Structure 1
Amino acid sequence: MQGVFHKHLDDKVRPCIDLIDSLRSFGVEEDLALPAIAVIGDQSSGKRIVTRCPLQLRLRSLRVGEKWKARISYKDTDGIDIHDPSQVEQHIINAQNALAGDGVGICEELITLEISSPDVCDLTLIDLPGIARTKHLISQFIRRNETIILVVVPCNIDIATTEALKMAKEVDPVGKRTLGILTKPDLVDRGTEQTILAVVRNQVIPLRKGYLLVKCRGQRQIDERVSLADVTQMERDFFEQHEFFKYLLREEKATTQCLASKLTEELVDQIKVRLYEDFNKKQCNVTLVDAENQT
């Protein structure tokens, strides 16, 4: 264990994710299906930041002792360096205001935020605005076969009626690209814990990638600027001490750490599969063209 998240995949993960990010930066995505992780859910589901524009979040792991840094870019900006983690949210708000206007407007322009830290894993995902007014925008991202859909749902509502899961099932009927994330386990009504366990164990609405249970930072922890390392330990303590959810911890179906590791592995697997398929298609086309030229 180094930093907050597992590092055992670093050597295999970083080259794959850096390659995809580079291809996407050069606009190759128009000709080549690039894998991605898209996060969808209601604004109050636990996604934390009020998203009014698609936000591409690039997390890059540093060695312990290396300095935290971040950079945000959008539209015509050359990129703005961020030196203090507490300033990230305000920079996102400023970017959204610049693109979508002040208030509650929505814009389809992409904001890219890259964060490098010893306390994060190597991962790239796209956080999409809440579902209420942006179904068309969300559909543009999640209907692509190469996109892993991360559906965020609070524990204290009926998962079967959530709009996010309905949208995911429209484009991914058998759930082969969808991963369910249940949040707010501390708000579960006493007596309903077994229902949550059944959902996470894939016994209610089955998804091939299954479900995980996480406990995000509360507003008080955000206001008090509790460190990621401390929040991660507090989350683990919560699950270890919970009468019912401690079993999910042992099954590796709970905590943000488990989620980060699973997402990283899923993304790298998808990258390998998609690039291999596209490479073979292009090789096949080249062979056919050569054969036609020879004849």
Structure 2
Amino acid sequence: MTALYTSDRLASSVLLEKIDKLREKNISQHVPLTQLVVVGDQSSGKSSLLETLTGLPMEHNIELCTRFATQITSRRDPESRVAVTIIPGPDASDEHKKRLNDFAFESLTIENFREQLPTIFKQANVAMGIRTEITSSSGKVFSKDVMKIEKCGPDEDYLTVIDVPGIFRNASEGVTTPGDIQLVIDMVKQYIQDSRTIILAVFAGNTHIDNQEILTLSRQYDPTGERTLGVLTKPDLVRDPSEKQKVCDLVLGKKKSLTLGYYVVRNRGPDDTIEAWEADTTLQEAPWSSLPHDRVGPAALRTRLRELSEQITRREFPKIRKQVKTELDATRQQLDSLGDSRHNEKEQRRYLTAVARKFQDTVKAALNGWYSDEAVFRKSTMRLITHIVNLSDEFHDDFTRFSHLHEFQDTGNTTPSTDSSCSKVELDTHAMCSNAVDAALDKIDLDSYPELDGIVCTAESLEDPDEDTMEWIHEMYMESRNMDLGTFGGNVFSMAFKKQSTKWGDMTRSYLGKAILMVHQFISDALDLVCPDTRVKEMIWSAIVDDLLLRYKAAMDQAMLLVQIEREKRPYTLNKEFSERLQLAQGGRTAALIKAAGQTKTNASPFDKSITVTPNVIKAASANQSNVERVNQEIHDKLHAYYNLALCRFVDNVFQQAVDHGLLTGPSTPLAVFDQEWVIKLEADELEDMAGESEASKSRRSILARKVKDLTVAMRILK
């Protein structure tokens, strides 16, 4: 059992030493470490308690000992000695660290340490840059640097406690100011706030516990009292029996209990000899003698503190190691996200070239629908080709249903291209497609891109075609007829087609506008993705936006040119399907006339739908049409047949020439504006302005690099 206990103690000592090494490397600024922190008022007997616990004399001069924290470590070593050094604060500059490295008192005996203590504290103040004169304008009032006092010897047990400046309520003239009061409280809060800190709250037994500010502070960060241990000092100054009983009730847990409990310690006074102090019988008298022995005296407290240190360190050590590893990985990723250093032209060009390459890789993946990289395409606006395909399908369907001003007449052989009636499946498919487009556009804030004003217009009115087609054709023919016998001139057909295609320009402009908006948003999001440096991204965007607008305008102009060609030029087609469609329409009309003029068989069964038609009947049916009526029907049928072909041709041309070639894949696509060739052409001064690191970026890189270095050292220590 003894061997096992000794083995556990040695193992705990190794862990405690590792934690101390981490503290010396300032790892606590990155990951909270286990620690025992001694806090209390300046009059609480805190310094005397530390002397009692460590066997080291402590400075009681308020001017010297309230300006910084002190780490006191005891550890076993064959050689008896005391060493004093300073651990630089987390924000210390290299120059300040060098100055602190020059401060060292090593291999002191206890007596040497006692004699030189005032000198040690004064030199520490100087090294830390603390001003000792309140009227002085140079130097700090308090320091984040930590004085480390290490006591070694063959009989020492491992224990580390951190003493923070004592809380005071009244400023001392020439020494402290009212503002210093809050500074000390803030320092105390900083040390006790973490869950891995054991709070050693020290207060004098002859004061009212309700007035103890340190307990109030500790409850802010340890409301359940699970990591606060109370130490009542100066029991010999408690005179009133009722006050003594209150102290005993605290220790016995009868009121204001703490999970770690209270201890009573009678510190050695400045005039006490060791013999007189050890012979003191105050705590052997009633009512102190009734208290549990493991709650009374410095030896019991020292044993308990050592146990707490070992317990919390064993419990938290695996968590600390895991947290350091997690923090190191995350910091490395942040540092990697900044890319390589960019101090000179070569580094800047290499950096921008890498960004451009990643951008073009993202473009290629987006155009091919390679969405396997969820980190890249998690944002819906990055799925460019999917949105363009949905948008184009919606454009085709809407164009088929709404682009003609007047609904074409059903001749019995209606061609599907301009048939406004759709099946349920077609309507459902169109609705799904439209919903997808609307969802994509809803994620784009057009107001964020004022540069697109004058180019993009997404508003459109999709109204059903009018149903007075033949009346419209009749009016147009009557206003434009000439002396051609029973025919109509080419100008009538051109006018009819131009009138029927009135909506083409607005619908096409809206389609192109939506496509441009999707491309513009994609470029912005892709730059965000491949260029985490916001300033560089904004500089790239500013440099390419004018070229983007020119290319958007070129695509829009191409679409409008296609509209002009279709509507302004004389209607004509080489497609033989025109004759087929026209013949189908005319055949349908003839069939309708014959059907109307035919006679049903006498005594025919209900299932016999056949009719009897004679040549005379056909001749009479055809003769009943007026010349104007026949011409109107001919205009309608030719317009219908041609419109169908022109619509299909036009929709394909707009997609292929304006959207696919102009916006996506052609040599002048906006997606190709930012590439490696563009970077190569940049002048040195342009590179510096665009890719040179800002002071903020340099500072962040330096901070992250230093953090990676610190955490790497920490991982080696924790192995």
Residues 1:77 and 2:106 aligned together: no
Determine the structure 1 residue equivalent to 2:256. Answer: 205
Does the 8 Å CA contact 2:31/2:323 hold for their aligned counterparts? no
1-structure distance, mates of 2:318, 2:263: 29
Does the 8 Å CA contact 2:251/2:263 hold for their aligned counterparts? yes
SS of residue matched to 2:72: strand
SS of residue matched to 1:207: coil
Q: 1:193 aligns with which of 241, 244, 248?
A: 244
Determine the structure 1 residue equivalent to 2:556. Answer: none
1-structure distance, mates of 2:83, 2:27: 24
2-structure distance, mates of 1:231, 1:60: 27
2-structure distance, mates of 1:110, 1:85: 18
State the identity %: 24
Determine the structure 2 residue equivalent to 1:89. Answer: 117
Determine the structure 2 residue equivalent to 1:131. Answer: 167
Q: Which amino acid counterpart does residue 141 of structure 1 have in structure 2?
A: Y
Determine the structure 2 residue equivalent to 1:56. Answer: 71
Determine the structure 2 residue equivalent to 1:3. Answer: none
Deviation readout 1:96-115 (Å, 9 max, x if unpaired): 35432225743332111111
Q: TM-score, normalised by structure 1?
A: 0.81
SS of residue matched to 1:136: helix
Does the 8 Å CA contact 1:74/1:95 hold for their aligned counterparts? no
* Structure 1: stretches of 5+ with no match in the other structure: 1-6, 287-292
Residues 1:247 and 2:278 aligned together: no
Q: 2:301 aligns with which of 255, 259, 264?
A: 259
Count how many residue pairs are aligned between Structure 1 and Structure 2.
Answer: 271
Does the 8 Å CA contact 1:70/1:113 hold for their aligned counterparts? yes
Q: Structure 1 residues 42, 262: closer, same or farther in 2, change over 3 A?
A: same
Residues 1:233 and 2:262 aligned together: no
Does the 8 Å CA contact 1:97/1:103 hold for their aligned counterparts? no
SS of residue matched to 1:220: coil
Q: Which structure ranks higher in relative contact order (CA pairs < 8 Å, sequence separation ≥ 6)?
A: 1
Q: Larger % of helix: which?
A: 2
Structure of larger gyration radius: 2
Quote the offset at 1:200 in angstroms. 1.2
1-structure distance, mates of 2:314, 2:87: 28
SS of residue matched to 2:165: coil
Quote the offset at 1:264 in angstroms. 0.9
Note the aligned Cα RMSD (angstroms). Answer: 2.9
Does the 8 Å CA contact 1:38/1:142 hold for their aligned counterparts? yes
Determine the structure 2 residue equivalent to 1:142. Answer: 192
2-structure distance, mates of 1:188, 1:29: 39
Q: Which amino acid counterpart does residue 257 of structure 1 have in structure 2?
A: A
Quote the offset at 1:202 in angstroms. 1.8
Does the 8 Å CA contact 1:185/1:213 hold for their aligned counterparts? yes
Q: Which amino acid counterpart does residue 158 of structure 1 have in structure 2?
A: H
Determine the structure 2 residue equivalent to 1:29. Answer: 28
Determine the structure 2 residue equivalent to 1:289. Answer: none
Quote the offset at 1:152 in angstroms. 0.3
SS of residue matched to 2:46: coil
2-structure distance, mates of 1:136, 1:195: 30
Deviation readout 1:265-288 (Å, 9 max, x if unpaired): 1111111111222445678999xx
Q: Which amino acid counterpart does residue 100 of structure 2 have in structure 1?
A: T
Q: TM-score, normalised by structure 2?
A: 0.35
2-structure distance, mates of 1:285, 1:69: 35
Residues 1:182 and 2:203 aligned together: no
Q: 2:149 aligns with which of 110, 113, 138?
A: 113
* Structure 2: stretches of 5+ with no match in the other structure: 1-5, 48-59, 89-98, 135-140, 169-180, 329-372, 374-719
SS of residue matched to 2:100: coil
Determine the structure 2 residue equivalent to 1:46. Answer: 45
2-structure distance, mates of 1:213, 1:87: 30
2-structure distance, mates of 1:283, 1:110: 26
